[in-house]
Amino acid sequence: MSQPFLRGVRVIESSAFIAAPLAGMTLAQYGADVVRIDMIGGGIDYGRLPRMPEGRSLYWTGLNKGKRSVAVDIRRPEGRELVQALVSAPGEQGGVLLTNIGVPWLSHDALARQRADVITCTIEGHADGSTAVDYTVNCATGLPAMTGNGSEQAPVNSVLPAWDIACAYQAAFAISAAVQGRAVTGTGAQMRLALSDVAFATMSHLGYLAEAELLHVDRPALGNFLYGAFGKDFGARDGRRLYVAAISLGQWKALVAACGLQEAVRRIEAATGLNLDDEGDRYAAREAIAAEIVPWCAARSLETIGQRFTEQKVCWGTYRTVRQAVAQDPRLGSANPVFQTVHTAGVGRHLAAGGAVRLMGVPHPPVVPAPMLGQHTDEVLADVLGLGDAAIGRLLALGIVAGPAQDPLMAG
């Protein structure tokens, strides 16, 4: 089950990697019927790390929750025709393709010949159609030179594929908008979304490009300092680390009160001529402010600091490893309806997230685990194309489609 907003919309997804599968899963979480087209035996990312000891990919199962899977031999003309038929099948809520696999037989023009109001969203690396992944796009943005202690000569990459994630949500929103637009105008849409365009557009929205163009500066790497205000990581007496942010005036006053920095603030202001109630001035005085907080934190345990910060409403957080977060953070537990324990074939019981939006007054829908390859082949061919048992059996016998029994990683 899912949120109800896109209920009835059918999206055919032919994809790999991160952006397109995440876009499809997002649409499914809002109620769309998202049907994955999978290669018989699995595509390029079906076994991608991290994997269970038996081979099932936690990456793939994480990005494909809530979808149906049809396993098709797309190397054969009959398989390709079947996928085209699924995309172009009648029904006012069908006729939607999400893909990052640029093949001629899934082009907008090819599909529009079968359904004039088809909606296609193709994710690509660059706008000229050339290949790219998040990491090759990110290196061109300039961000690695300002990440951590990076520089132009020693860039530091982010481990989070931020552009893939942003691209995924752009694609999901674009498809939702196109479906709404078609309901009003009756016309489809051909949409192309380049990963590099998403990255550079986001850089523009956040002021990075204007800063370089108009102020003629490259922002320096700041370690863990927060740009433009005050924020920094600190170590507690017990070896734990935390992060403190004081962006708003209220956050700053809370930090000053919690750490007893009133006299230190007056001293810094007198020495520098700065007004630390101003976030820009706090940024300018960041080293001096941090020097006052370092010994305060070092003299106290994380528990003591946390109690004090929470009492004073300081904006702060604790550093954890992922294992520590899963074991210790209540936001990842049963108290948070976004997270549920599910059973995924080939994985077992594990914590899994549904959609992050909580619809007030409505119970959070159950998280539906990722399918096995071809788990819904018979069901989709019958529901969408109206094929009977004999026709489906023929396709199975010819190896044009397959069911879950041919999933090489199926547990048990």
What CA–CA distance (Å, rounded) separates 195 from 108? 19
> Between helices 195-205 and 162-185, what is the axis angle to 10°?
100
| Catalytic hit among 38, 164, 281, 378 | 164
* Residue 103 CA to its chain's centroid (Å): 25
Calculate mean pLDDT across residues 351-372: 95
Give pLDDT tens digits for 129-150. 999 999 999 999 999 999 999 9
Nearest of 74, 70, 62, 69 to residue 25 by alpha carbon: 62
* Domain range annotation of the chain: 10-203+332-410, 241-318
Nearest of 301, 309, 272 to residue 289 by alpha carbon: 272
Give pLDDT tens digits for 290-307. 999 999 999 999 999 999
Going by pLDDT thresholds of 50, 70 and 90, the confidence category of residue 211 is very high
- Strand 230-235: give its sheet, edge to edge: 230-235, 241-246, 315-318
Going by pLDDT thresholds of 50, 70 and 90, the confidence category of residue 412 is very low
Q: Spelled out in words, what is the top-level CATH class assigned to the domain 10-203+332-410? A: alpha beta
Beta bridge partners of 231: 245
3 state SS of 365: coil
Q: What is the dihedral of CA 26, 47, 17, 206, to 10 degrees?
A: 80
Nearest of 356, 372, 374 to residue 364 by alpha carbon: 356
Say if residue 11's pLDDT is above 90: yes
Q: What are phi and psi of 234, to 5 degrees?
A: -140, 155
3 state SS of 149: coil
Element (H, E) at 162: helix 162-185
Say if residue 2's pLDDT is above 90: no
Tokens of 52: 């269970």
Task: Tell me how crowded residue 365 is: count the other CB atoms within 10 A of its CB.
Answer: 18
Beta strand pairing call for 96-99 and 68-72 = unpaired
What CA–CA distance (Å, rounded) separates 99 from 93? 18
Structure confidence at residue 411 (pLDDT): 44
Asked if 400 and 82 count as a contact pair (C-beta separation under 8 A), the reply is yes
What does each C-alpha distance from 10 to 36, 88, 189, 259, 263 come to in angstroms? 11, 11, 15, 55, 63
Going by pLDDT thresholds of 50, 70 and 90, the confidence category of residue 3 is confident
The dihedral built from the CA positions of residue 345, 346, 350 and 351, taken in this order, carries a sign that is negative
Give pLDDT tens digits for 89-124. 999 999 999 999 999 999 999 999 999 999 999 999
Give pLDDT tens digits for 12-29. 999 999 999 999 999 999
3 state SS of 231: strand
Q: What are phi and psi of 253, to 5 degrees?
A: -65, -35
Judge whether 383 counts as a catalytic residue: no
Residues 6+ apart with CB under 8 A from 100: 15, 16, 17, 19, 20, 122, 123, 124
